[in-house]
Amino acid sequence: MLSIAAATIPAHHNSIPLIQSIKKNRNNVRSLRIHARQGDVLVAEPPSPHKTQNRAAHLAESLLNFVHLHFDATTSSTAYARPVVDRRHKLADPETPVLSPKEDISTKWNEIHTSDYDNLLTPLQPWLRREIIKYGEFAQATYDGFDFDSFSEYCGSCRYNRQRFFEKLGLGKNGYEITKYIYAMSHVDVPRWLERSQLVDKSWSKDSNWMGYIAVSDNGETKRLGRRDIVVAWRGTVAPTEWFEDLQNKLEPIDELSGGEVKVEHGFRHIYTSKSETTRYNKLSASEQVMNEVKRLVKMYKEKGESVSLTITGHSLGGSLALLNAYEAAETIPDLPISVISFGAPRVGNVAFRDKLHQLGVKTLRVVVKQDLVPKTPGLMLNESLKKFEEITGNLDWVYTHVGAEMKVDVRSSPYLKRKFDLLGFHSLETYLHLVDGFVSSESSFREHAKRDVALVNKACGMLVDELRVPESWYQLEHKGLVKNAYGRWVKPSRDSEDIPSLHHIHETPTPPCLE
Amino acid sequence: MLSIAAATIPAHHNSIPLIQSIKKNRNNVRSLRIHARQGDVLVAEPPSPHKTQNRAAHLAESLLNFVHLHFDATTSSTAYARPVVDRRHKLADPETPVLSPKEDISTKWNEIHTSDYDNLLTPLQPWLRREIIKYGEFAQATYDGFDFDSFSEYCGSCRYNRQRFFEKLGLGKNGYEITKYIYAMSHVDVPRWLERSQLVDKSWSKDSNWMGYIAVSDNGETKRLGRRDIVVAWRGTVAPTEWFEDLQNKLEPIDELSGGEVKVEHGFRHIYTSKSETTRYNKLSASEQVMNEVKRLVKMYKEKGESVSLTITGHSLGGSLALLNAYEAAETIPDLPISVISFGAPRVGNVAFRDKLHQLGVKTLRVVVKQDLVPKTPGLMLNESLKKFEEITGNLDWVYTHVGAEMKVDVRSSPYLKRKFDLLGFHSLETYLHLVDGFVSSESSFREHAKRDVALVNKACGMLVDELRVPESWYQLEHKGLVKNAYGRWVKPSRDSEDIPSLHHIHETPTPPCLE
């Protein structure tokens, strides 16, 4: 079955490492398991070998079967045969406004915290759909505003300062203002998550990447929501293949508080907590930066007598950081309703991590594209589905476990998307947002009145069917940012001084934003 | 040696077919030769097999040696070791104007036609350098203005109408005005030279591609040049690998006039001469279109008592069409000085074709980048260098022969260019123009005061050294031409009505351009 998957991967995708790693995992189920058990973070005693030899073989086989089924569902040729889709939807009518009017949800929002997400998902409540997309667009903006240009001395920073970030990215009317940017160290144990300038000498930072932002709802949005909403949006990685390889499958204790039981993936924790006195932007870790600002904002608005909530969002790696962030916020800030809305996020921690998050009252909604492989990592085989083998595996604190409510959307539900295997396309956040926009329930077809601009899907991939005539990966700068100067030469203009990263952004407490 | 070349080709270049075809050629020298001799266009009797068997083996071996040497010079690792280059040139100082003042060359230009190009090349006369670049930029404009977007209903056409073409491409002050566009049929025997819209039903043309234009010098430029200069610029192909494979290595008689002796490559001739009554843009062939217009202009200006010249330019395939065009013009228009300035053009015809062009007085300057493989085709092995084997090969009218004066420029002469093997980069017209700008003679180093904007080299390739910080292949539209409309949707705006291809452009005689 895996060979089918390999054969249908388009040649232009850098997907060989993934397939290799899957194959490797298949061949090394036992050694992988042993590796995980012998790691220094393990607590449970391994079951006696002679007692479980046959059972272990059975486990290994079952795991393989699981993987088989799993890939059947996503990549076999029958699964990808184009279903008979009712194409009555107008294909991206260019004169349908994309914005739905936003209703007052001040009474509805509490449902999330009183009755959990699950009750709102079948069918998906329209107001919640709009909120999910709103937060997803906060996460998408962390990509759209990021400087990926390795020839730029500002590579790895945000292209715009926080005051005009939303406006520049077409989100000027979203009712939020950014109060702080977040930076994380790029010299961490996930070697390829970062972007780094080739101009080491001149670079704005040798050590850090811009990792997202903290924003607060303005008075209008606050009224609509029934509370002052603090948002943290975490940037992820664009190319999932890169850190598929880099994830170390190493669980380690999240902190000293939990007695070592609560464990999370080493790489994610490292990005979240690393700092160094010798850096400019990471004298404080990402964790410290974000927690300082959230605490400041919570205090400020609570002192004004307002209801305050925290919503943390992120895609891919950003979704993992969102969970770590939520855990820390829940542990340190009392009486703060905390939600996580993540997209295509991998597993982060073990069962104890999940249980503790639930216990702390963090409400998590994980949006997952059924065909996306990233949410299946780490722990492609060593995950919560092993529960049925507990008898032989013993305590499962060494397996990765997903957290919260899952909202599973399916590429095949959309009449606008190609059916071919597309590793990047399945993982792309814009694909996620498109599928959320069309989602009613897992039994329903794509929502007829979905209005979000379909063309956005192809911003950074080629998932849209050709009939739509939207170019692949169209989100690009004119002439890659070069302009012809007065002397007739093509040059990269220096960045507007107001958009040059500055230590002010990170080390000084900002003035409270104008929230009118 | 070839394996070195193959090993150093960057993975992202679609160069495998080329290498395969070279390898194939190596293995099939004899069969290739036999194939060429057995073609229906042959005149010479093949030498008796038993008499020449050993000699033929010797020839085959010598050919292989030739190819070896040949690749040694361009792709071996020693040849590509970075030479010690004096980097005193300021790396693309952004405040040096790119335009040199243009001097009056009315007395100089005749040197080309009285003493031939050769005398002007060692060292290269500065005024001629500027003229070569001027014509090269005419050829470059045929790429820059072309609609490559297969989702566009105008794919394969020019993006701008002829009145504003130069202005849109930054050539508004070049002293020329376009009087006519040229179209050629796309259903020809060189299967992959064309661009075709995926929107067959709506397409502006199912059968034709825009292939270039005819322009005339205005009064100011005419005064500077000492004659009214008619220019024909032919579009080529961007990706050389495509038609490397497609060239059929089939020489056929150019017309009935020459008694069948003068032969040219079938594919080039087919593009130049194909027409069909059922098409919109090719009821006349490219040949007829261009000749009608050139004759009209020559007549018009000669009747005014002016001196008139014809300069034909093109890059790659466009250079081949330029030669065919020059041949026809020389045969049919008496007393017209005709020059061809071609860039990276392949061979076009046999020895008789070359001799006839010389005899007709056509002055040809072929600019060739030493490392570019395209000028070595067709006839990578079956070419004019076989002359020394004439004894065994007999009459050489079945081999391909270059025409005119060669100006050979070398990638290694420029301190701005990378030294690695780059099939597309070596062939790129902007690489050619850069090297011409720095050329003095084959013994001199890169010209110190070369002012042409170095950044242009990377328009469609990645040849510039990283220190220059010019992104690779930067010539691109913002968002691939999508814009956000009033409803918030990303759409491809319809082309300005004045830029929509129209039959007026091709079938009606244009009014004489305003030449003030």
pLDDT band for position A386 (50/70/90)? low
Mean pLDDT calculated for residue range B136-165: 92
Q: pLDDT per residue over B406-433, tens digit each?
A: 999 999 999 999 999 998 899 999 999 9
Chain A: nearest CA to B474, how far in angstroms?
A: 5
Has A270 been annotated as catalytic?
A: no
Distance CA A283, CA A503 (A): 11
- Contact: B96, A489; criterion CB under 8 Å: yes
Distance CA B399, CA B255 (A): 18
- Contact: A492, B475; criterion CB under 8 Å: no
Chain A: nearest CA to B461, how far in angstroms?
A: 13
Residues of B annotated catalytic, as ranges: 316, 372, 427
Chain B: nearest CA to A456, how far in angstroms?
A: 7
What are residue A308's DSSP bridge partners?
A: A228
Residue A163 has pLDDT above 80, yes or no: yes
Distance CA B119, CA A271 (A): 66
Contact A367, A407 (CB under 8 A): yes
- Contact: A487, B98; criterion CB under 8 Å: yes
Burial of B379 (0-12, 13-18, 19+ CB in 10 A): buried
Contact A311, A231 (CB under 8 A): yes
Report, in angstroms and rounded to the nearest whole number, the Rg of chain B calculated over CA atoms. 23
Chain B: nearest CA to A455, how far in angstroms?
A: 6
Q: pLDDT per residue over A4-52, tens digit each?
A: 233 333 333 333 333 333 333 333 333 322 233 232 222 233 334 444 4
Burial of B202 (0-12, 13-18, 19+ CB in 10 A): exposed
Size of interface A-B (CB pairs under 8 A): 95
- Contact: B491, A456; criterion CB under 8 Å: no
- A509's torsion region: left (phi>0), alpha (psi -120 to 50) or beta? beta
CB atoms within 10 A of CB B514: 8
How large a percentage of chain A has pLDDT more than 90? 47
Among A345-349, B49-53, B299-303, the range with the most confident prediction by mean pLDDT is B299-303
Distance CA B115, CA B216 (A): 25
B481 to chain A: nearest residue by CA? Answer: A474
Which of B198, B471, B481 is opposite residue A480, by nearest beta carbon? B471
Distance CA A289, CA B373 (A): 56
Reported in sequence order, the residue ranges of A144-281 that DSSP labels E, i.e. its strands, are: 176-185, 208-217, 228-234, 251-253, 263-265
Residue A70 has pLDDT above 50, yes or no: no
pLDDT of the residue at A41: 28
Which of A98, A149, A478 is opposite residue B488, by nearest beta carbon? A98
CB atoms within 10 A of CB A415: 19
pLDDT of the residue at B20: 35
Chain A neighbors of B455, CB-CB under 8 A: 482, 489-491
B502: DSSP letter: -
* Measured distance between the N- and C-terminal CA atoms of chain B, rounded to whole angstroms: 57
Mean pLDDT calculated for residue range A286-304: 97
User: A12 at the B interface (CB within 8 A)?
Assistant: no
A153 to chain B: nearest residue by CA? Answer: B469
Best mutation target, B153, B203, B474, B494, to test chain A (most A CBs within 10 A): B474
pLDDT band for position B307 (50/70/90)? very high
Distance CA A197, CA A497 (A): 19
User: B199 at the A interface (CB within 8 A)?
Assistant: yes
In the set A316, A339, A414, A428, the catalytic residue is A316
Reported in sequence order, the residue ranges of B316-424 that DSSP labels E, i.e. its strands, are: 338-343, 363-369, 405-409
DSSP B201-268: TT-S-SSEEEEEEEEEE-HHHHHHHTSEEEEEEE---S-HHHHHHH----EEES-STTTT-SEEEHHH
Q: Which two tokens stand for residue A408?
A: 């599973």
Mean pLDDT calculated for residue range A178-187: 89
* Closest among B455, B420, B403, B461 to B434, alpha carbons compared: B455
User: A476 at the B interface (CB within 8 A)?
Assistant: yes
> Does the predicted interface ipTM exceed a cut of 0.85?
no
User: A474 at the B interface (CB within 8 A)?
Assistant: yes
Bridging pattern class, strands B176-185 and B208-217: antiparallel
User: B95 at the A interface (CB within 8 A)?
Assistant: yes
Q: pLDDT per residue over A303-324, tens digit each?
A: 999 999 999 999 999 999 999 9
Residue A295 has pLDDT above 60, yes or no: yes
How large a percentage of chain B has pLDDT more than 90? 47
DSSP A311-341: EEEEETHHHHHHHHHHHHHHHHSTT--EEEE
Return the minimum-mean-pLDDT range out of A173-187, A255-269, A299-313, B331-345.
Answer: A255-269
Which of helix, strand or coil describes residue A155? coil
Which of B98, B478, B490 is opposite residue A476, by nearest beta carbon? B478
* Measured distance between the N- and C-terminal CA atoms of chain A, rounded to whole angstroms: 57
Q: What long-range pairs does A100-103 form, CB within 8 A, spacing at least 24?
A: A100/A130, A100/A451, A102/A130, A102/A224, A103/A127, A103/A224
User: B283 at the A interface (CB within 8 A)?
Assistant: no
Residue with tokens 């081949």: B320
User: A94 at the B interface (CB within 8 A)?
Assistant: yes
pLDDT of the residue at A47: 39
Q: List B residues 323-382 in contact with A (Cβ-Cβ < 8 A).
A: none
Residues 6+ apart with CB under 8 A from A113: A337, A339, A361, A363
How large a percentage of chain B has pLDDT more than 70? 69
pLDDT of the residue at A67: 39
Burial of A4 (0-12, 13-18, 19+ CB in 10 A): middle
Q: Which two tokens stand for residue A440?
A: 């009613």
pLDDT band for position B22 (50/70/90)? very low
B148 to chain A: nearest residue by CA? Answer: A471
pLDDT band for position A449 (50/70/90)? confident
Residue A335 has pLDDT above 90, yes or no: yes
Distance CA B476, CA B387 (A): 46
Contact B182, B194 (CB under 8 A): no
What are residue B314's DSSP bridge partners?
A: B234, B342
Which of B98, B149, B474 is opposite residue A479, by nearest beta carbon? B474
Q: pLDDT per residue over B193-224, tens digit each?
A: 566 676 656 678 878 889 999 999 999 999 99
CB atoms within 10 A of CB B197: 22
Distance CA A222, CA A229 (A): 7
Distance CA A332, CA A326 (A): 10
Residue with tokens 């030669």: B323
Contact B465, B485 (CB under 8 A): no
A149 to chain B: nearest residue by CA? Answer: B471
Distance CA A473, CA A381 (A): 32
User: B101 at the A interface (CB within 8 A)?
Assistant: no
B122: DSSP letter: T
User: B482 at the A interface (CB within 8 A)?
Assistant: yes
Distance CA B375, CA B409 (A): 13
Contact A339, A366 (CB under 8 A): no
Distance CA A422, CA A372 (A): 9
Residues 6+ apart with CB under 8 A from B302: B308
Q: How far is CA B173 from CA A495, B217, B221, in A?
A: 30, 11, 10
Q: pLDDT per residue over A397-422, tens digit each?
A: 667 888 899 999 999 999 999 999 99
Bridging pattern class, strands A251-253 and A263-265: antiparallel
Residue A196 has pLDDT above 80, yes or no: no
User: A20 at the B interface (CB within 8 A)?
Assistant: no
User: B493 at the A interface (CB within 8 A)?
Assistant: no
Alpha helices (H) along B274-398: 286-303, 317-332, 351-359, 390-393
- Contact: A482, B474; criterion CB under 8 Å: yes
